[in-house]
Structure 1
């Protein structure tokens, strides 16, 4: 599942800065992904590809980070 998510990001030119999978007791695992700087249109296209992949248990949430 993570490979499909990473592929969706990569296919839209989005590089992953860091990724964290939190503890879970179910078959679905929450994952936090921080990307390098990208355009919103590319992120939206990647999110659509993630939805189409069939591996997500819920819709993703995207939060803009202005600076770290």
Structure 2
């Protein structure tokens, strides 16, 4: 195996590891809560904006609560 083949093998291993880590880090989106036809944030109970739902149709949290959730904290509206 020459240096190019060796580099390619390492690159493929790194790519496979990165893809595995990415899949492992994904958590399923919680179910949406709806009231009177509006999607309600599961954390603060405020309606989720239409813009947020266009960007992420299955969003269960408003953009603010999602930010807090991703930082490991909870936001209570």
TM-score over 0.5 (shorter chain): no
* TM-score bracket for the superposition, by shorter chain length: under 0.3
The structure with the largest helix share of the pair is 2
The structure with the largest strand share of the pair is 1
- TM-score normalised to structure 2 length: 0.23
- TM-score normalised to structure 1 length: 0.25
Larger Rg, first or second structure (1 or 2):
2
